[in-house]
Structure formats: C-alpha cells, structure tokens
Structure 1
Amino acid sequence: MIRLLRLLPHESRNAAIQCQLFNYTLQDSGRRTHPYEALSYVWGDLVNLESISIGGYELPVTQNLYKALSHLRHRSIDRILWVDAVCINQYDTMEKERQIRFMAKIYAQASCVVVWLGECADNSDQALEEIRVAAGGKKSSNQSNLTMIHKAVSSLLQRPWFRRIWVLQEVAAARHVLITCGSAETDGYAFCSGVSLLDFYNNDLDLQSLVRSVIYLIREAIFRPGYATSESGELVDMYHTREATKLHDKVFALLGMSSDDLSKASLSSRYEDPWGKLFQNLTKFLLCDKISTETFGDKQITLIRSKGCILGRVSLVQSDITQGGSQGVEIIFNSISRQMGYKEGSSAHWTLHSLANSIRKGDFVCLLQGASKPTIVRLHDDHFDIIMIAATPPEGMLKLSQSMKPLFRNFLLIWDWEKASREGLKTSWGKLPEHGRLQ
C-alpha cells in the first residue's frame, strides 16, 4: 500500500497549490505501468519552506518541490503523482523504512518518471532546445554563439540533480523518463542522445563521470523489462561517491537497485543503526563474513584485515565511452592463477563497469579468503586501497581450490569513500602495520 498525490488543477500558476492524498495498492500483475507519474527531484534546503494544502491541512515543503508542483500542475485536469516528501510520512521513521523498500517498484511501475531539474536559469531553455536539436541529427540554429550554447548546456548538466544518490534508483527503474526544467521539457531518450552527441565536456572528468552514468541509466529506460538488474557490488563500486543527505541513503539507494537477495544480509533500511555498523555489514556482505572490519564514527572509511593472495596485475586500461564509460583492462596473471585456468605470465581481457575510482595500470587483482569475486586494489605505502571491491571476471574463470589455503597471507586494506588524504589517515591512526606489503 502506498499513497498517491492528486495535484488539483488551476489556471493560474501563482495560485496556492491544492492537493489530495489517497491510498493506492501496487499490483504484482502483468501490467507494466500504473496510472501515476513519479517525481525525481532534489529536495533542496530545509529553510524558508513553502506550504501546500492537502485536504485542508497545510504541509510545509521545500521551495524546490513547491516550484516543481507549480510547473507540473495542469490548468484543467488532475495530475496524479508520487512524491516522496509528501506521500511518505517524514515524521514516522518506521514508515520511511518500510516505504524505502518499495521505492524501486514505485518508480518501475510509474507511467513516467518526471525529472525536475529546477527553474529556468542560465539559458536552460536554450540548452534543452539545443540538446533536442542535436538528438534529431541537426546542427544548432545558433552557430554564431556556440560558446554560449556550450556554457548553457554545461551549466544545466552541473545542476544538483545529477549528483544525488537517490536519482540513480529512480531513473534506473523507470520505463519512461521526461526531463523538465522550468516550463521546458523533453523526452528522456532524446535528452540522452542529444547530450551524447554534443559530448563537449570531455575535458571535465568529474562532469563526464557524473553525466555519463546517469545518461546511461536514462537511455536504457525504454528497453527495460523490469527493475533491479545489477548486482550490489557493481552498483556500490560505480556510484558510492554520489551525494546524499544522510550517509545511510548511500547504501539504501544502491541496494534498492540491486538484484541480489538481501534478506539475509543484515542490510535492512534501518536508520537507527549506526553508520559504522551499516558500513561493516555492507563490507562483509560484498566480501565475506571472515574478514575483520573497523570503522571510525561517521567517516566513510573502513579498515579491513583478511587473508588473501595476489592473482595478477593490471597491464593496460582502456575506456569505452559508448558503453557508459566502461573500462577494458588487461590482466597479467602470476603463478597462483594456474589453478584458475590461467598460465603464469598469460593475460586476459576483462570489461568492467565504469567506477567511482578509475582503475590504473599497475593495480593488483587479489582474492580474499572466502570471497566469491576478486577485488582490485592499489598498493599505497603500508596498505592496499580498494579500487573495486567486487570485480566480475569473464565467464569460465574458475574459483580457487581449497588446496590454495597455504598461499593466503595477511592483507591490510582500506575502503575509502571520502577520498581522504593519506596524510590525514596517518595523523588519525598512526603508522599502519605492514600486513599488506608485497614480498
């Protein structure tokens, strides 16, 4: 059972916003979509709130949501929406935890996911028009001012929506996406096609990483048979640097997109659990229960002690911008890898998803004791940094046999979501023990 919002019509955009809430049951039948739209937006600052009327009661909402509803309201007919800030009782923690588990399904079964980027500013109308024109295979109608166009598109793509963690789940589940900015709107697939063809932001690596991952998810909407098609390890490796109001949201948002069975993983959507406990549970779920983990308050860093072995080294890295920025890596294997079907000194090509931290030549592929997948790490002084916690190798790669136990040795690894300086780590923890060095 969920709630839906009936946004009542008005001819004047400046009129007070009148709404109604009603209960609705999502069906598990063969119907692909339901008669409502789901809003994807950034909440914005919780100051200078506006009020909307719901059945005669005043509910405070952020200015960004108020402006979105003002623009989305029809002049003559009701509009049925699902909006998290209104349809979930934000003052009831237990309800929030229950509803979070349904969010991927809510967005997957919506007739459309409406992306609200904000009000018109910095020539955003022109930016959307140029993106639409590019998607149609035409040249800009304003060739005399391409600099202004590029600046307007770049400004649009740097809006906060592209940086938030929850939007990933929302567009990853969508069957149809509509991009709106002020009164301008365009189809999600056309938006992705136009941005990809313009592709003028190659020199801005941060913007490139943010935009391409979201564009890839939106573009796939029209081909999507359902939601939750990626493994949790892949999602965490790709998106953990995204922004969230609460640290817990970084985990809950990504797990909501996951195809893994999380029922036994101690990863339920409980905000009362300390962040450190949640991060430790996530780390053990992605690796194995045998590892020893240590966290540090609200820091997004975990220290991992485990046994493991080095399988090989990355010798070449190539990016594929046509596949959402995926990376092709060549791995040269050592003698340990013979039991996995590789000869010493042989190489293999792996295609891996685009990561929050890019793989580099010289990184190592290791397997921790009890883990089902290799981990890609980078040697740093007296420990290894985790670059990719769960790498999916090509099919046919064999698991290590139990006879390899004597080859395992102590590893010290750091999984750092904050990209904290190593000097800061040494100041906080002192000299780390030399368990992770290569011999």
Structure 2
Amino acid sequence: MLQALQRADDRFNFWRHTNFDERADLMYQLARLLKKQKRALAELITQEMGKTINESVAEIEKCAWVCEYYAEHAGDFLKDRIISTDAQTSFIRHEPMGAVLAVMPWNYPFWQVFRFAAPALMAGNVGLLKHASNVTGCALKIAELIQQAGFEEGCFQTLLIDHDLTAELIKQPKLKAVTVTGSEAAGRKIAAKAGKNLKKTVLELGGSNAFVVLADANLDNIINTAVTARFQNTGQSCIAAKRFIVEASIYDEFLERFKNKVEQLKCGDPMDEATSLGPMARADLAEELADQLQRSVQQGAKILIGGEQSKTRFQATIVTNVTVNTPLMQEETFGPVAPVFKAKDDEHALKVAAATRYGLGVTVCTRDPETILKQLHRFPDGAVFINELVKSDPRLPFGGTGISGYGRELSRPGIKEFINQKTVYVKTGQRLRNDNFMV
C-alpha cells in the first residue's frame, strides 16, 4: 500500500507537468479501448454483480463518453482565469493536488470509477482505487486498461486493501484527497478519518429520490420512464426513483398502468439480452430489502405485486397504502421495490417529496414545467429533473445535499474538486517583460 502511494507520488511529480494535449491523447486512446472491448468488459460486470448485459454494455459506453468529454474540455475548464483588480495582473491558476483515493461501490463498477478517473487524470492528479470486494475483476481491469492506453505506471493504481488499510492510507501525508461513492455509513466513517487528517473529500452517498406525478402529467410519456427510474440495475442505484408520489386524481390510473408495465419486466439470466430484470448483487442485500418490505407491511403497507425473495432473486414489487413514515418511504431502498404514495393535491405531493433527509435528486412529471421552475427552491436536492428520470451526464454537475453527501462530480465543477485554485497577484510599476505565463 505504501509502495503504491510512493509510486503515485513519484509519478505525480512528472504527470503534473504534462500538457492538456498530451493527457487528452491518452484519454482518447482509453475511450477507444473501452469501445473496442465493450462486450468483454460488459460480460465481466454482469458476471461479478449481476447487471443485465444490455445495461453493462451501456455502462461501458458511458465510460468512453466521459473520457472523451474531459479530453475535449479539461483544458478550457482549467485555463488561467484573469480577474480584474488593482494589480498589474491577477489571475486564478488551477493546479492539481496529487494522489487522490477513490473508494467506490459495486453497483456501477466501471462508471463510478471513470467519472472520477477521467477528470482527475486530465487535471494532472494521480489516482488510487479501493473498490468493492465483490467486483475485484472490474477493479483490476480498469487499472489494466488505463495502463494499456499509455498512462505511465503510477498514474492510476488499484489497491486490494481492506477497511483498516484504507484508514491507514488516508493518514499518509502524500495522499491529498478522498472521494467516496457509497452508503451514508461508509461516507461518515471515511469523511471522519479524512477530516481528522485535514484531507479534502467529496461524498456521493445514498438517495431516496422522489418521483412526483402531478395531476396534469402525460402518462403516455412518463410510464416507461417511471419503470426505468425504479427498476434499472434491478433498483440498485443511488439515483433510482425510490418514492413514487402521485396526486389522488390520477393515482388509480397511474397505478394500473405502472403495474402493467412492471409485470412485463422479464426476469432471467442477466447474460440473456432479453432479460430486463436481473438478480441482486448479493444475497445479504436481498435479505435486507426483504426486511425493509416486511417492516413496512407490519406498519400497514400492502403488496400489490411481487414481494418474494429467494437468495439474490427479488421479484419486481409495488407497494401501496404507504405513509410518509413507512420504512420504504423513509429509508433508502436498494432493490426492485416501488412504494406508491397517494397525495391529496400538488401542494401535498411537493411537500412529501421534500420530506426526506436525503437530497440527491427529484423527478417531477407535469405538463406545466414553468410552475415547477418557479418553485425550485422547494427542493433541497442536488438535481431536479422535469419529465425525466434523474441521471448522471458528463456535461452536468452531479452530487447531493443532506445525507446524500457533498461536493460535485462531472462537468466543470467536477474537475475542480481536486484542484488548488491558486490566486496570483502581481503589482509592478511597469509592464511585465513576459506575458506567456498564462496557460
């Protein structure tokens, strides 16, 4: 572990001095490798954590996209920014921090890593990866791909270490920052260790996203979106719709149409392209979801369809008769269970949507988006999507509030998280002899 950190630090002293064109050439090559090998890489994802093969292929394609995005835009995002002051010249210089540790989860084993790695490497940082233990093959393959693309040894390394060694790594002065995607509990523990050692952190944690359906929503357009929002990746996504909140006047029609679509999901072998709902990643996760469902039923919730669990298999489930205090409405649910809440009116629906400790994202379905745009302040979330499921996009900042974490990934804000934004102020009585200091 310490040897890996030393390699990272040694490489950083060279990598930081490469220019954006050099980094971009390597990043484009990495994108080409991902595209060329996408079927084999997708099969690795599916074998390790059970995602359907179609979703795995889409994940690899998205990784290639984020590589290309930062290859194209990093230089512009991080160029010196001139600020007008009393000085002869003053500007902000963007400089990399050094070695950054990424602690990543299993549910999107390539995408979660690449949305960190692409901006970090393009910014001139170097990366260390501590991945989830059930996707070790993916973790090793990512480091291999980055090296195959031409990045020198030490630019990015996968570490097969446990939680104790991770804590020791965070203490080391040569490690400059930590980014975590995972549960609230994991985020709290790692942030506490990083904070004690004054290390910058970015936390992308759990979510309990509301999917609000107002009375004027176009059900023809949003039913498929609702099903995908809850059941993609077998519901194992931080940004999945976790709470469906539907106005009373449209509730019965939505529920019937939602139920019909969910019943059409095909469970089966995740390697089969016809399968639309795969197994959960681990049996213990399915058991935890079954416990959340059972506790909700004990408090009055009713199972409309599904509800059965066997090892890693969990039926697509819809639950009704829920209240704001039902466990499925209060806790993050990581699996194919959809509670549907009946709201009295639009005011009630929006109030319930905001009644959560999480703050990752919210979807609002309506034919009148302008009314929602005037009420954005009502949603504390990091993202508001109107008539679309919450999703990550390299072009847009991604992150949450509350116990969903802090900081941003992707877009311009994402690449600046692990950057020293250095103020430079020069006051002289004459012209500077050389103005080529700007980058």
- TM-score bin (small chain): under 0.3
TM (norm. structure 2) is 0.24
The structure with the largest helix share of the pair is 2
TM (norm. structure 1) is 0.24
